[in-house]
Chain A
Amino acid sequence: MLGRPLSELLHRVRAILRREAVERELDEELRFHLEREAQTYMRAGVPRLEAERRARIALGGVERIKDDDRDTRGVAFLDALAQDLRYAVRTLRLTPGFTLAVIITLGLGIGATAGIFSVIDRLMFRPPAMLHDPGTVSRIYKQYDFRGRERIDGSLEYRRYLDISQWTSSFSQAAAYQDASIAVGVGQDAGEMLVGRATASLFSFFDARPALGRFYSASEDTPPTGAFVAVLGYPYWQSRYGGRRDILGSTIHIGAGTYAIIGVAPKGFAGMEIGETPVAWIPVSAYAGLRNHTWADNYNWGWLNTIVRRKPGVSVASATADATTAYRRSWQAERAMDPSVAPLEVGRPAALLAPTPLGRAPDAGAAGRIPIWVGAVALVTLIVAGANVAGLMLARAFRRRREIALRLALGVGRGRLVGQLLTEGLLLASAGGLTGLGIGWGVASAFSRLYDQSETLGGGLVDGRTIVFCAVVTLLAGIATGLAPALAGARGDLAAALKAGAREGTYQRSRARTALVIVQGALSTALLIAAGLFVRSFANVRALPLGYDVDHTVVVEVNLRGMRLSHDEQKTLMRRLTDEAVTVPGVQGASQMVSIPFASFEGTGLVVPGIDSVQRLGPFLLQIVSPGFFRTVGTRILAGRPIDSTDRHGAPLSIVVSAEMARRLWPGRSALGKCVKVGEASTPCSTVVGVAENTITRGISHDAEANYYLAADQVDRPTYGLYVRVVGRGADYVEPVRRQLQSVMPGVSYVRVMPFTNMVGGAEQSWQVGATMFTALGILALVLAAIGIYSVIAYNVTQRTHEIGVRIALGARVANLTGLVLRDGLRLGVIGMGIGIVLALVASRWLSPLLFDVSPRDPAVVLVVAGVLVGVTCLASAMPAARAARVDPNVALRAD
C-alpha cells in the first residue's frame, strides 16, 4: 500500500513521462461514457444522432474536461512553460540584432562581475579549504605604537604565540605557521618552493585526514629543536613522487635540514593560505632549531602567523579583550628581558582579531583594496548593463503593446502574460550568463596574471562558487529584464492600446532611458580618461632612464642554505662563479654585487673629511662590484674610470660615486680624487676614481639616488650575487646560466637565477595594473554605452517611422533625415561626455598620487577620449540613421 504523497507523486511522474498514454486513456474513457450515455437515450427511442448529441451535452465540453483533468495532473504548468519557451525562442529569433545586443550586454556585465567576484571571493570571503567551522577561527595581529606611529603586525614571535595561548582563556585552539619559499632538494634539482613551517596544532584546525601516513604531533614539535619530519602536500606528492606510497621514511632536503617524510596531506588541503599548496609542512621547532637554540625563548624574531579558535559562546569582542590582556602581559615580559622596549603607556599594545581571509586583515594594503575597488566599478557596469537590457526590453514591450493588449483581450491571464515575458527575460539572461561565464573566466585569469597573484589566488579561478554566483546574477538579471516590460505591459489600458496604432502618440521619448544612456556615456568617458592617464603614466615610467640595462641582464642570487663558509671561502666561491658565468655561450660579462634595485639595499657609515654629519645628506646606497660591473649592467661612467682589475687587494682603495652623490657631497666641484672613508673616521681614505650616472634604485621616481661602488677585492665582506650580461633576452639565459653555476655550488647550496626585467616589472606593476584595468573597464563601459545609444536611437526611429514617412513624402532629403537621427544620438553622447569629463576632473584629486609625470587634467587624454566617444556615438547612431533614410513613405503611411 502506497502512502498518499508517494502515490500522488508516482501519478504525476507518470502523467509527465507517459503523457500520450495518459491522454489516450482519458480519450478512451470519455468515449466509452458517451457511448453508454447515448445508448440509454436510444433505448428510450431517441434516434442515434440526437442521442449522441444529448450525451455530449450532458457530459459537457470534452476538451474542457480534459483541460480540468490536466490541471489536476499538474501538467498544465509544464505545458505553459514549454509553450512560453517556444514562443520566446520564436520572438527572439525574429529580431536577431536585438537578441544579440541583449546577450552581449548581459554577458559583458555578468562576465565582468563574475570575474572580479572570483578574485574578491578569494581575498575576502572564502575560508581555507577543509577548515573546521571557519566562523570561530581568527587571525591574531599585534597593534602597538612605535616612534609615535601606530603599527599593525601579523607576524608574531614564537614566544609571543606561547604567551598569548597560555595566558588567555577564550580560545580552544591556537596554532602558528608561516608559508615561505625555501630551498627544496639538492644539486641540479634544488629550487625554491613554498614550504609551510607550522606548529603541530595547525592540523587539528582542519577536518583533514592524511592521504598517507600521519601528521606530526605536538611531541615532535617542541623547542628548542623538534623532530625532522615532513608532511608532503598532495600536489607535490603527485608531481614529484608520482603518488608513490612507498615514500614514507625517505628524506627530503628543505632549507638547511633533512627531513623524514611521515605523511601526505589530503587532496585539497593547502593550510591556511588560499592558493598554491606548499610542497611540505615541517615543524616550526625543527626549522627554527637549526638557526639557534634561543629562538623560542626571546622576542627577537617575529615571523609566525597566529590563528586561534574561539570557544563556543565567546564573542569576538571579549576574545579580543582577553588576547589584549595577554599581549600586554607578554609586552611586560619582553620589557623585563629588553629594557629598550617602550613602556606600556608608550607602546599601547593591543591584540586584534580578524577573520581568516587575508583581504580582511587589519593591515591589508592596496593589494586588498584594489580588487574591491575594481569590483565596485564592475558591479556598476553590471547594473548599467542590466538597466540597458531592461531599457531594450521596455522599448520592445512598447512596440508590442498592441500584441499584448490583443492577447489580454482574447482572455490570456495577466499572470500567464507576465510568466511569458519572464520566460523571455530568463532565456535571454541564461544566454547572457553563459557568455558571461566565458568572459568571466577571461577576466579572472587576466586579472590574476596582471596582478601577479596567481600564487596567492590559486589556479582555476572559475569554480563552483563563481558559477553559482553567475547563476544567481543571471537569475536576478533575467527577472529584472523580464519584469520591467511585464509590469509596463500588464499595466497598460487595454482599450486605449487596442485602439491606438503605433501611430498614436508617436515618438514619446522615455526620460528614464535617455538619462540612462547619458549616465553610461559619462561613466565610460570618466573610465576612459582614467585609462588614458594610466597608459601615459605607464609609458612615462617605461621611458624613465633607469641607469642600467635590464633587458640583457640576468640576476644571480647565491643561497648557502645554512652552510657556514669563511669570508675567504665565500670570496673564492664568488670569483669562481663569476669566471664560470662567462663560459656560458652568449654571456658577455659578469660581475659580483650585493644589492639589486627594488629588492635589496646595503649601506655602511661614511665619513668624508670636511663635511659634518654626512648621513644627513644620505641615504647612501652601497654596491660592491668586481671589474666589469659597469659594462655588465650598462651604467655609464661620466668622469674618471670604473672599478677595474687594478683595484685589487692591497692596492690603494678606490670608490666610484653616482653623479647625485658627487653633487651632494661636493656641489659645484669635481669629485675625482676626493677622499671618502667607508666605516669610521679611522679607516683609510678611499679615493674617488670615477663618477657614474644616476640609477633608479629604490623606487620609480625622479629623485636621484646617492650610490657608491666599492671593489669586491678591497672590502672585507663577501658578495652574494652576480649580474650576468647576455646577448639577447635575459629570460632566455636563466636556465643555461643556472645549470652552469649550480655545477660549482658546494653541498646543498644553490643559485637562484632570474631575468633583471622581473625586478623592474614588479616596480612598474601598479601603473600597468591601472592602465590595463581602466582600459578594460573603459572599453566595456564604452561598448555598453554604444549599445545603449544605438537602442535608444533605433527605438526612436521605429517610433517615428510614420513621421519620417510624412517628411519624405513632403520632400525631405536623405541627408536631412540622417542628420536628424545622428543629431539625436550626438546630443546624448555629448551630454554624457561632458558630465564624464567633469566627473574625471573632480576625481583627479584622488587619481593624481597614482599617476607618474601626467597631470590628471591632461588635455591630450581628454581630447582623445572625447574624439573616441564622438566617433562611437556616430557609429551607434549610423545604423538607425540609415534605416530612417530607407523608410518607404508608402509603407510607413499605410501601416496600421
Chain B
Amino acid sequence: MDRLDLPQGTLDLLILKALSLQPQHGWAISERLRQVSRAMLDVPQGSLYPALHRLERRGWIKASWGPSDNNRHAKFYELTRAGRKQLGAEMDAWQKLTTAVSLVLEMQ
C-alpha cells in the first residue's frame, strides 16, 4: 500500500493529538505518528520542526529541555491549556469535515 500524503493543514492536528497523551520530543512524535497510522501516513520529517515551532509560537504547545530515555539532552514539547482547547476544536472540525465528505461521497 502506498503511503498517503498529508492533506494541507492536518500536520498541526496530528502533532497536537500526539502530544495530548504525554510530552514528547520531535523524533518521538514522528515515530509515534508513523506507528499509530500503521505506516500509512508519511509525516515529512522536514516539515515537522517548523510546524512544532509554529505551534509553540502560537502558545498551543510549550517546550522544555530535559533528559531523553537514553539520557540525551532533548527538547520536549507538551500541550498547553490553549493547545488542548485548540485540539478539541480542530478534532471537532475534522469530524464534521470527514462526515460531510463521506455523506457526499456516499450519495446515490
How does the 8 Å CB contact mask read for A2-46 relative to B, with 1 for contact and 0 for none?
111001100110000000000001101110110111001000000
Evaluate contact between B50 and A72: CB separation under 8 angstroms: yes
Question: Is A1 close to B, CB under 8 A?
Answer: yes
Which residues from chain A contact B57 at a C-beta distance below 8 Å?
7-8, 11-12, 72-73
Question: Is B54 close to A, CB under 8 A?
Answer: yes
Evaluate contact between A4 and B82: CB separation under 8 angstroms: yes
Which of B2-10, B11-19, B66-74 contacts its partner? B66-74
A28: which of B58, B75, B81 is its contact (CB, 8 Å)? B75
CA distance A35 to B28 in the complex (A): 12
B50: which of A3, A25, A61, A68 is its contact (CB, 8 Å)? A68
How big is chain A's contact interface, by range?
A: 20 to 34
Which residues from chain B contact A610 at a C-beta distance below 8 Å?
none
**Known contacts A28-B73, A32-B73: A7-B59 contact under CB 8 Å:** yes
Evaluate contact between B58 and A7: CB separation under 8 angstroms: yes
Evaluate contact between A1 and B75: CB separation under 8 angstroms: no
Question: Is B23 close to A, CB under 8 A?
Answer: no
Evaluate contact between B49 and A26: CB separation under 8 angstroms: yes
Q: Which residue of chain A is the closest to B26 with respect to CB atoms?
A: A33
Evaluate contact between A60 and B45: CB separation under 8 angstroms: yes
Question: Is B90 close to A, CB under 8 A?
Answer: no
Question: Is B80 close to A, CB under 8 A?
Answer: yes
CB distance from A40 to the nearest CB of B (A): 8
**Known contacts A7-B59, A60-B44: A30-B49 contact under CB 8 Å:** yes
Which residues from chain B contact A3 at a C-beta distance below 8 Å?
59
**Known contacts A28-B73, A32-B25, A32-B68: A60-B82 contact under CB 8 Å:** no
Which residues from chain A contact B59 at a C-beta distance below 8 Å?
1-4, 7-8
How does the 8 Å CB contact mask read for B62-101 relative to A, with 1 for contact and 0 for none?
0000001000111100001110000000000000000000
Which residues from chain B contact A69 at a C-beta distance below 8 Å?
49-50, 53
CA distance A72 to B52 in the complex (A): 11
Question: Is A59 close to B, CB under 8 A?
Answer: yes
B27: which of A33, A64, A65 is its contact (CB, 8 Å)? A33
How does the 8 Å CB contact mask read for A724-761 relative to B, with 1 for contact and 0 for none?
00000000000000000000000000000000000000
Which residues from chain A contact B49 at a C-beta distance below 8 Å?
26, 29-30, 33, 65, 69
Question: Is A58 close to B, CB under 8 A?
Answer: yes
CB distance from A68 to the nearest CB of B (A): 4
CA distance A11 to B57 in the complex (A): 6
CA distance A115 to B102 in the complex (A): 72
Evaluate contact between B50 and A37: CB separation under 8 angstroms: no
Which residues from chain A contact B58 at a C-beta distance below 8 Å?
4, 7-8
CA distance A4 to B83 in the complex (A): 11
**Known contacts A8-B58, A72-B50: A32-B82 contact under CB 8 Å:** no
CA distance A825 to B81 in the complex (A): 75
CB distance from B30 to the nearest CB of A (A): 8
CA distance A40 to B35 in the complex (A): 13
Evaluate contact between A61 and B56: CB separation under 8 angstroms: no
Q: Which residue of chain A is the closest to B82 with respect to CB atoms?
A: A1
CA distance A69 to B26 in the complex (A): 14
A59: which of B31, B45, B74 is its contact (CB, 8 Å)? B45
Evaluate contact between A37 and B27: CB separation under 8 angstroms: yes
How does the 8 Å CB contact mask read for B18-57 relative to A, with 1 for contact and 0 for none?
0000000111101100000000000011110110011011
Evaluate contact between B53 and A1: CB separation under 8 angstroms: no
Which residues from chain B contact A64 at a C-beta distance below 8 Å?
46
CA distance A332 to B100 in the complex (A): 86
Which residues from chain A contact B26 at a C-beta distance below 8 Å?
29, 32-33
Evaluate contact between B53 and A73: CB separation under 8 angstroms: yes
CA distance A25 to B80 in the complex (A): 21
CB distance from B9 to the nearest CB of A (A): 15
Evaluate contact between B46 and A60: CB separation under 8 angstroms: yes
CA distance A12 to B59 in the complex (A): 12
**Known contacts A8-B58, A8-B59, A69-B49: A32-B75 contact under CB 8 Å:** yes
CB distance from A506 to the nearest CB of B (A): 49
Which residues from chain B contact A58 at a C-beta distance below 8 Å?
45
CA distance A69 to B55 in the complex (A): 12
Which residues from chain A contact B44 at a C-beta distance below 8 Å?
60
CA distance A340 to B60 in the complex (A): 89
CA distance A816 to B44 in the complex (A): 71
Evaluate contact between A72 and B53: CB separation under 8 angstroms: yes
CA distance A61 to B46 in the complex (A): 8
Max chain A CB contacts within 10 Å: which of B53, B68, B80? Answer: B53
A72: which of B31, B45, B54 is its contact (CB, 8 Å)? B54
How does the 8 Å CB contact mask read for A66-103 relative to B, with 1 for contact and 0 for none?
00110111000000000000000000000000000000
Which residues from chain B contact A72 at a C-beta distance below 8 Å?
50, 53-54, 57
Which residues from chain A contact B27 at a C-beta distance below 8 Å?
32-33, 36-37
Which residues from chain B contact A2 at a C-beta distance below 8 Å?
59
How does the 8 Å CB contact mask read for A578-602 relative to B, with 1 for contact and 0 for none?
0000000000000000000000000
Max chain B CB contacts within 10 Å: which of A3, A32, A37? Answer: A32
CB distance from B42 to the nearest CB of A (A): 10
CA distance A12 to B53 in the complex (A): 11
Evaluate contact between B75 and A59: CB separation under 8 angstroms: no
CA distance A33 to B47 in the complex (A): 13
Which residues from chain B contact A30 at a C-beta distance below 8 Å?
49
Q: Which residue of chain B is the closest to A11 with respect to CB atoms?
A: B57
Evaluate contact between A1 and B72: CB separation under 8 angstroms: no
Evaluate contact between B53 and A59: CB separation under 8 angstroms: no
Q: Which residue of chain A is the closest to B29 with respect to CB atoms?
A: A33
Q: Which residue of chain B is the closest to A25 with respect to CB atoms?
A: B75
Q: Which residue of chain B is the closest to A62 with respect to CB atoms?
A: B46
CB distance from B29 to the nearest CB of A (A): 10
Q: Which residue of chain B is the closest to A9 with respect to CB atoms?
A: B57
CB distance from B12 to the nearest CB of A (A): 12
Which residues from chain A contact B74 at a C-beta distance below 8 Å?
29, 32
Evaluate contact between B82 and A33: CB separation under 8 angstroms: no
Max chain B CB contacts within 10 Å: which of A1, A3, A29, A40? Answer: A29
Which residues from chain A contact B47 at a C-beta distance below 8 Å?
68
CA distance A69 to B59 in the complex (A): 16
CB distance from B11 to the nearest CB of A (A): 13
CA distance A64 to B45 in the complex (A): 12
CB distance from A72 to the nearest CB of B (A): 5
Which residues from chain B contact A61 at a C-beta distance below 8 Å?
46
CB distance from B97 to the nearest CB of A (A): 23
Q: Which residue of chain A is the closest to B81 with respect to CB atoms?
A: A1
Which residues from chain A contact B82 at a C-beta distance below 8 Å?
1, 4
CA distance A623 to B29 in the complex (A): 107
CB distance from A493 to the nearest CB of B (A): 36
Which residues from chain A contact B72 at a C-beta distance below 8 Å?
32, 35
Q: Which residue of chain A is the closest to B60 with respect to CB atoms?
A: A4
CA distance A588 to B80 in the complex (A): 98
Which residues 592-644 in A have Cβ within 8 Å of B in the complex?
Answer: none
Q: Which residue of chain B is the closest to A26 with respect to CB atoms?
A: B49
Evaluate contact between B50 and A65: CB separation under 8 angstroms: yes
Q: Which residue of chain A is the closest to B86 with respect to CB atoms?
A: A4
Q: Which residue of chain B is the closest to A58 with respect to CB atoms?
A: B45
CB distance from B8 to the nearest CB of A (A): 15
CA distance A125 to B23 in the complex (A): 64
CA distance A651 to B74 in the complex (A): 121
CA distance A40 to B34 in the complex (A): 13
CB distance from A289 to the nearest CB of B (A): 74
Which residues from chain B contact A73 at a C-beta distance below 8 Å?
53, 57
Which residues from chain A contact B54 at a C-beta distance below 8 Å?
72
Which residues from chain A contact B46 at a C-beta distance below 8 Å?
59-61, 64-65, 68
**4 other A-B residue contacts (CB within 8 Å) besides A7-B59, A8-B57, A68-B50:** A8-B59, A32-B26, A59-B45, A68-B47
**Interface of B with A (CB < 8 Å)?**
25-28, 30-31, 44-47, 49-50, 53-54, 56-59, 68, 72-75, 80-82
18 residue pairs of the A-B complex, CB under 8 angstroms, read: A1-B81, A2-B59, A4-B58, A8-B58, A26-B49, A32-B25, A32-B27, A32-B68, A32-B73, A33-B26, A33-B45, A36-B28, A37-B27, A59-B46, A65-B49, A69-B50, A69-B53, A72-B54
A-B complex: 6 closest residue pairs judged by Cβ atoms: A60-B46, A7-B59, A36-B27, A11-B57, A68-B50, A33-B27
